[in-house]
Structure 1
Amino acid sequence: MSPSHTASLPFDLKRPIIGAPMAGGISTPELVAAVTNAGGLGFLAGGYKTPHQLAEQIIATRALTSGPIGVNLFVVAANDVDEHELETYRQELKYYADRYGIEVGTHKWDDDSWHGKLDVLQDLKPDVVSFTFDCPEVEVLDELNALDIHTAVTVTSTDEARIAAERGAQILIVQGTDAGGHRATFDPAAEPGTEPLPDLITAIRNTTDLSLIAGGGISTREQVRTVLDAGAAAVQVGTALLLADEAGTNSTHRSALQDPTFTETKVTRAFTGRPARGLRNRFMDEHDRSGHAYPQIHYITAPLRAAAAANNDPHALHLWAGTGYRTTHTGPAADIIADLTP
């Protein structure tokens, strides 16, 4: 199937730009509304929030825009972890905790309030709901689709795309290897793919007629055009918005993105147990983990990361960023979206 047969999105946008959902406070209602008001589609990140917090953010975003908004949820699978390995890692990290005068976090598993958040979505009905880390069961997608909520699943391979299409997703969000933050691989133990994004789009385009949104390392107008030409109906950007005025990016993260001493990005499992790309720092290099205990490791390191941000320590903080971080710039989100639009 050629790019000329690209399936259009089931909703209208003035600009083919999607603001990626960035958990941890970055995707504020102000940022989401600004992207939508600029003609794109902004996404709230539901990850790590309580259902009540998510509901509040959806309501706050609705008050700032009359355009469409999206919400993203994590699909967290149960796992079988090595308790001894996790405790060993906790002890390894006591060095950081002692330095900040805090305690290392306790590892646990939860489903990120899955059912409570689905209830919120069914009640407040955002225009689009996307899913990351796995594909929901058929029943979940059917229930949302029946409420006229467009459903999207983030995929990183043709196999994942087939699963999402078979279960009833209306849109596929194709995540390339250069994306910042967590990789969306369904299997957290799998090594992230290395296929260039245009090639991955083409491969998935040849397996499905579903609308495709694609992103990963996109930071220039020329790159947006390349992705659209490869067969995507829209481009998803996250790193490009990290320095936007409306973004909730903490000051330590903002400074690091503009610090010339950070010269590359790297994929690591050290912060959360899932592969994620960020600015390469000392914590990554000192804790080269291959384990995939998510969200257990997330909870172990969460207090350390919060303390690192509070103490302006970029070398103990997860500085999520895609490979195009050097071209990010400050300013209103509307100007950033306009600059990216071909």
Structure 2
Amino acid sequence: MPVFDLRELDRPIIGAPMAGGPSTPELAAAVTDAGGLGFLAAGYRSPGNLEDQLGRVRELTAGPVGVNLFVPDSLEPDPEDVARYSNSLRAEASALGVEVGAARNDDDGWHAKLELVLDARPEVVSFTFGCPESRVLATLAQAGILPMVTVTTGEEAQQAVAAGARALAVQGPDAGGHRGAFDQRTIPTDRPLADTLTEIRSQTAVPLAAGGGVSGPDDVVRLLGLGADAVQVGTLLLTADEAGTNPLHRAALTDGRFAETSLTRAYTGRFARGLTNRFIREHADAPAGYPHLHYVTAPLRAAAITAGDADIAHLWAGTGFASARPEPAAAMVERLSPTR
């Protein structure tokens, strides 16, 4: 059965899925209706909540939409490392009036969400944190859904295509939020996105979406010229009118307080890029251990957001964050798109 082709987009802009609240049906629909491809982020949502979001986005747009799923990770970190890190956060948690969370592993509703997308039939289903089994990708393609895998290296790209990925999201080191590397224990490469994209383009003919550090239309033109079929934009969309970004995060992106971003495992045990605040600087020793550490720090992060404490809250952002500004998502898609 034919699947959706990224090369058919009216505008080569993909709204990156941003789990934890920023991705909303309204944002996805706005990006799609502007000629791009909007995404819902299934991560951290219950299957029931995701089902509601899919229903809502179908009410808002008749155009193509995507859904992003987290691939479960079997890594079990050293319990002593996790306990040591948890204990180091207790004073911080107490000052916020909460307790450190209990570390645990789960699959983020993996099987239920797979069944849900097979039933709902979004045009695209993408995967982050690994490559699913070949049978998963094949089942999606047979249902007419484009299976897309996030990759950060040429080796990961080869593995994903061999498994049956029909498109790749090539994530560069400047991207905000979590790195999509298959192995969370590996220190992320700082190889420029341009080099990785060029390598992957030479390896495969499948459609490629490239993203990471996009700050304006010149970046879009450059990535398209290097072989990308579309450009994935995340950080800039955090300040879109339709995004569900919390007020603290929105302000931090635009008020000029923060000058740089850093990669950190401090919040979730998986490397992610965010605005460099005190919490990131003071917890550079956080061990690998996603999603275990995600649950450990969840109460602190929630309390910090409620308290408006930007020194503790996680403030995901790519290196192009200084170009973020409040505006409708449609205006952003139009502004970033090259003239044809």
Class of the TM-score when normalised by the shorter of the 2 chains: over 0.9
**Is the counterpart of residue 242 in structure 1 residue 238 in structure 2?**
yes
| C-alpha distance after superposition, 1:256-289 (max 9, x if no partner) | 1112221100000000000000000000011002
Q: How much has 1:10 moved relative to structure 2?
A: 5.1
The equivalent of 2:166 in structure 1 is: 170
The equivalent of 1:5 in structure 2 is: none
The equivalent of 2:11 in structure 1 is: 15
Aligned amino acid, residue 280 of structure 2? M
Q: TM-score, normalised by structure 1?
A: 0.96
Task: Give the secondary structure class of the aligned counterpart of 1:206.
Answer: helix
More deviation in 53-62 or 77-86?
Answer: 77-86
**Quick check: 2:82–2:287 contact (8 Å CA) kept in 1?**
no
Instruction: Report the aligned-residue RMSD.
Output: 1.1
Aligned amino acid, residue 216 of structure 1? G
The equivalent of 1:143 in structure 2 is: 139
Q: How much has 1:161 moved relative to structure 2?
A: 0.2
The equivalent of 2:226 in structure 1 is: 230
Aligned amino acid, residue 291 of structure 1? P
Aligned amino acid, residue 223 of structure 1? D
| 1:201 paired residue among 197, 203, 223 | 197
Alignment partners' CA distance in 1, 2:103 and 2:58: 35
Task: Give the secondary structure class of the aligned counterpart of 1:313.
Answer: coil
**Quick check: 1:133–1:184 contact (8 Å CA) kept in 2?**
yes
| 1:315 paired residue among 311, 315, 340 | 311
| C-alpha distance after superposition, 1:29-56 (max 9, x if no partner) | 1001000011000000000011111111
Aligned amino acid, residue 53 of structure 1? N
The equivalent of 1:31 in structure 2 is: 27
**Quick check: 1:110–1:295 contact (8 Å CA) kept in 2?**
yes
| 2:284 paired residue among 280, 285, 288 | 288
| 1:67 paired residue among 55, 63, 67 | 63
**Quick check: 1:29–1:57 contact (8 Å CA) kept in 2?**
yes
Which consecutive segments of 4 or more residues in structure 1 shift more than 4 A? none
| C-alpha distance after superposition, 1:227-255 (max 9, x if no partner) | 00000000000001010000000000011
Alignment partners' CA distance in 1, 2:75 and 2:10: 42
| 1:123 paired residue among 119, 126, 144 | 119
Alignment partners' CA distance in 2, 1:279 and 1:249: 15
Aligned amino acid, residue 166 of structure 2? Q
**Quick check: 2:6–2:229 contact (8 Å CA) kept in 1?**
no
**Quick check: 1:9–1:233 contact (8 Å CA) kept in 2?**
no
Q: How much has 1:290 moved relative to structure 2?
A: 4.9
Alignment partners' CA distance in 2, 1:195 and 1:237: 19
Percent identity, aligned pairs only, is 53
Task: Give the secondary structure class of the aligned counterpart of 1:129.
Answer: strand
The equivalent of 1:3 in structure 2 is: none
Structure 2: tracts of 5 or more residues without a match: none
Structure 1: tracts of 5 or more residues without a match: 1-7
Q: TM-score, normalised by structure 2?
A: 0.97
Aligned amino acid, residue 289 of structure 1? D
Task: Give the secondary structure class of the aligned counterpart of 2:203.
Answer: coil
| C-alpha distance after superposition, 1:72-99 (max 9, x if no partner) | 0000211121112211211111112111
The equivalent of 1:187 in structure 2 is: 183
Aligned amino acid, residue 83 of structure 1? P
| 1:276 paired residue among 255, 272, 283 | 272
Alignment partners' CA distance in 2, 1:243 and 1:64: 20
Alignment partners' CA distance in 2, 1:59 and 1:158: 36
Task: Give the secondary structure class of the aligned counterpart of 1:63.
Answer: helix
